[in-house]
Amino acid sequence: MMGLLQTGTGFWNPLVWSVSLFIIVLLVYFIRFFGEKKYKPGTEQTMPFCSGSHPSELPIRANSIYWGFFKAMDKHYKALNRIHTGLLDDYVFWFIIVIVIMLTVLSIGGL
């Protein structure tokens, strides 16, 4: 089949994917076409819902995105912070330790 890309472990055909997606997008727009198009621009209807407050009163900080990760992985981060000393000797030490672990795993796996 023309355009089939094979990586040795996986395969996909971007041309077939593109043609299929194009057809599906047309079908989706066809469904959307039957929906109501109108609304009342510039009225209260278009104000973002904010439980009665003005949106500017509830600023959302971009860095809050990772709050869940920081909270869930708190112990992990604390452990990492402890070994993150800033001393080059310590980083080389950890580098060697990780290399030794990786080589051990690869040796056991027979690779």
Partner 1 sequence: MIAFWFKILLIPIVVLFGLFIGLLYKGIDRILAARMQLRVGPPISQPYRDFKKLMVKDNIIPRNAVKWLFNLMPVAALSTTLIILLYVPLGGTMPLLEGQGDLILVLYLLIFPALALILGGFSSNSPYAIIGAQREMIVLMSYEFPLSIISISIAWLLSFTQPGANVFSFLVITNNIIWGLVGPMGFIGLILLFVVLLFVMQGELGRVPFDVAVADTEIAGGVLAEYSGRNLALFYLANTTKVVVIGSLIIALFLPWNISDFFSVAGFSAHIFNALFFLIKLFVVTFLGSSLIRVAVARLKINQVVSAYWIHAMSVALLGLILIWVDVALQTL
Applying CB under 8 A, the residues found at the interface with partner 1 are 1, 4, 9-13, 16-17, 19-21, 23-25, 27-29, 31-32, 34-42, 45-51, 55, 58-60, 64-69, 71-73
Helix (H, G, I), strand (E, B) or coil at 5: strand
| Eight-class DSSP state of 38 | -
Choice between 6 and 81, CB closer to partner 1: 6
Q: Using alpha carbons, select from 98, 95, 96 the residue that is nearest to residue 106.
A: 98
Q: Minimum distance between the CB of residue 33 and partner 1, rounded to whole angstroms?
A: 9
Nearest approach in angstroms of CB 44 to partner 1 is: 10
Distance of alpha carbon 45 from alpha carbon 54, whole angstroms: 14
89: burial class by Cβ within 10 Å (0-12, 13-18, 19+)?
Answer: exposed
The residue (of 28 and 92) whose beta carbon lies closer to partner 1 is 28
Q: Minimum distance between the CB of residue 94 and partner 1, rounded to whole angstroms?
A: 22
